[in-house]
Structure 1
C-alpha cells in the first residue's frame, strides 16, 4: 500500500514501560495486540478517536496496541521503525506473554520466507492467534511479484483471520487461497484538525504527479508527458512534478539520476513546474495535497493507497490507474495503466473529467463515525480469534 508517508510516525515507547498483565476492568475485556507496525497512521487510526472502549453485542472491549520496539540503530522508514523487531521469532519467544493477538500489516518487504515460517511457527507454539490485513496483493516496492507471493502463500493460509480493504481484493484472496477475507474500509489519514471545506477554486488548476523516489511500481514519465501535452488545451493548467532529492544521492537505495535529470529538464516546459525536496513532514504533505486540484497516481501495479485516502480527506481529486482496486476504495477517476499497457487517451479523458469536477472535502463527522465502526469491527475480530 502506498500510504507510507513521511513524518506520519507515532511516538514509540519501550516495551519495558508497558504493563504486561492482561488487565480487566469491571465489565470490560482488555486485549493486547502486537501490531506490525503500530506507528503507521493506518494502524493508529484503527482505534477509537478518544481511546474509549468498543461496545459490542458481547460486551465492552478495550484494545491496546503495543508500541513498536525501537531497533538498536533507531532507524526509521516513513510509516514505522525499520526493521520491525516484532517480525523476529526471537522477539516473539521473549515477549509472547506481553500480547494476546499478533496483527500483521506491513513491514515484511525484506523478510525471507524461511524467517516468516519461523515467525508463524513461534506464534503457533505459544498459542497466539494471527490476524493478517492484506494491503498489498502485489508489493509496490518489489519489481517482480515472486518474493512477495511466497510470503503471502505462508501468511494467508496460516492467519486465523484475514482482512482486506476492498471487495475486489477479497475476491482475489478467495480465488487464490480459498480464504474468506473480512472487508473493512481504510480509515481517514488526515488528522481531525485538518478537515475543512475546500476554498474557492484558485486561478490555476494544478495537476500533481508525485514521483517520490520512483519506487518499483512507478513509471511517471509517460504519464507526465501525456499530461503536459494535454495541458495546452486548458487555459489555466499546470503540471506539478515532485520528486525526492535522494534520487540524486550516489549510493542511496533510490539513486536514479537518469529520471532526476529528465525531470529537471522538464522545468523548461511552459506547462510544467518541478519541485525537488526531502520527504515532506505531515503538515507539509497536507498543505501540498490541498494545494493540488488533482493528484495523478503513476502506478503500473499496486493494490490499495493511503495517498488516495488523504486526498479524499482534503477534497483533492484523484486520477488512479486501472491496476489494483483504487477505484473501490474511494470515488476517483481512472485511466488504463498496468504493467502491460498504457492508454494515453484514457488519461486525457480522465483529466477532462477531473477538470470539470470540484469534489467536496470529506467531513470529519463522517470519518469519525467510520473510524468508530472500524475500531468496533477490529475489537470484535480480536475477540473472535481469542474465543476460537
Structure 2
C-alpha cells in the first residue's frame, strides 16, 4: 500500500497485519518511493507493480492531468484506490470550485471516500451530492501508542510563573501566527510569557510572499528573549513532541480548516490547546469529552474584534494551564481500541471490490 503523501503520522500509522506501506522504501523499479510521493512522480513510473492500494491524502496542488492519468492507470491495472479527505476546503488556494472539481473526479470513479468527522461527511455530501457515501473514521492518536512520552509530564524550564506558548507548522494561508505573537508581546496578561515557533526551513519565496512569516522573523530578531523561532528541514515526530513537552500551551491559529492533527497531539501530550473555532475541531474534541478538557476557543467572526478574542483566549490559558486534568492513561486506552477499529475499517476498504 502506498500513501500520497506519507509524511504525516496519520498516514504512517495505517500499517500492521497484512498492511505494509511502501513509501520511503526501494519497492519501485525506478528506485526509492518518496515519502511525499506526488501524482506527477507516480505518473512517471514505468510500472505500478510495487503497490496494491493507493491511499490519497491530498489532491490540492496536483495538476488535474496527473490525477486523471494516475487514476486511469490504477483502474486499468486493477489497483485499489481510497481517499481520505482531511479538509473539505483547500488549504492553499482560494479556488473552492477547482477543489470540488478534483473531488468529483474521485466520486465519478466510485473511489471510496473517508473523512474524520460526521460534520465533515455532511459537508462533503452537500458538496458532492446527497447520495454520496462517505466513510467516517476518526483521526485517532498522533503520539505512537508505545511512545514513552505518554508518561512524560510537561517540563518547566522557564522561571516560575512564566507561561510558555508554542506554535508549530508551516506558514501557510490558513494559519495566522503573528497576531498571536503580537498579543503575547504586548497584551495585558496575568504573568510573563514566552512563545516558541517550530517550522520548516524558510525559503526566499516564502519571505517574499508571506507577510505573517516576515513579521514573526522580525519579532524573533528584536525580542529574542520572548520569541523563539526554530527552523528544521522538515520537523519530524520526535522533534515536535519534545518541542511541545517544553511548552505549557499550544496555539492553533487557523483562519479556516476542517480537522487538526495538532489538536489531537495536544490531547495525547496533555498540553493546553488554544484553538480557533473553525471547521469540525469541536467535534474532534467531543469524541473524548470527559477524558480531555475542552480546548480554549477563539473565533474570527468580527474583523475588528479578532485581536480581543485572541488575547482573551491567551489570558484564559495563562490562568488555566495548571488546571488541565487530562487522564492520559484513559485516553491512551481509548486511542488503542480506536486504532484497532480504524485499522480493521481500512483493511476492509483496501480489499473490498470496487
TM-score (norm 2): 0.78
SS of residue paired to 1:65: coil
- Which residue of the other structure, out of 152, 159, 181, is the alignment partner of 2:134? 181
Residues 224 and 122 of structure 1, relative CA distance in 2, 3 Å threshold: same
Write the distance in 2 (CA, Å) between the matches of 1:155 and 1:341. 40
Write the distance in 1 (CA, Å) between the matches of 2:346 and 2:212. 42
Answer with 312-321 or 334-343: which moved more. 334-343
Match of 2:290?
none
Question: Which residues of structure 1 form unaligned runs of 5+?
Answer: 1-32, 54-61
1:1-388 counterparts in 2 under 5 A? 33-38=1-6, 40-47=8-15, 51=16, 53=17, 62-68=18-24, 80-83=35-38, 87-88=42-43, 91=45, 94-95=47-48, 97-106=49-58, 108-178=59-129, 179-191=132-144, 192-193=146-147, 194-199=149-154, 203=160, 204-210=162-168, 212-230=169-187, 232-235=188-191, 237-242=192-197, 244=199, 246-247=201-202, 249-250=203-204, 252-253=205-206, 255=208, 259-267=212-220, 268=222, 272-278=226-232, 279-330=234-285, 331-337=294-300, 343-354=306-317, 355-356=319-320, 357-360=323-326, 362-363=328-329, 364-383=332-351, 385-386=352-353
Provide Cα deviations, 1:179-234, integer angstroms capped at 9, x if missing partner. Answer: 22111111322232221153586722112233x4421222222233234344x331
Write the distance in 2 (CA, Å) between the matches of 1:245 and 1:103. 25
SS of residue paired to 2:254: coil
Question: Which residues of structure 2 form unaligned runs of 5+?
Answer: 286-293
Answer with 269-278 or 108-117: which moved more. 269-278
Equivalenced residue count is 330
Provide Cα deviations, 1:239-259, integer angstroms capped at 9, x if missing partner. Answer: 414254743x53x55655854
Residues 263 and 40 of structure 1, relative CA distance in 2, 3 Å threshold: closer
CA contact (8 A) 1:69 1:84 kept: no
TM-score (norm 1): 0.72
Residues 350 and 255 of structure 1, relative CA distance in 2, 3 Å threshold: same
SS of residue paired to 2:181: helix
Deviation at 1:289, TM superposition (A): 0.7
CA contact (8 A) 1:316 1:359 kept: no
Deviation at 1:171, TM superposition (A): 0.8
Task: Tell which has more relative contact order, 1 or 2 (C-alpha 8 A, sep 6+).
Answer: 1
CA RMSD in angstroms, aligned pairs only? 3.4
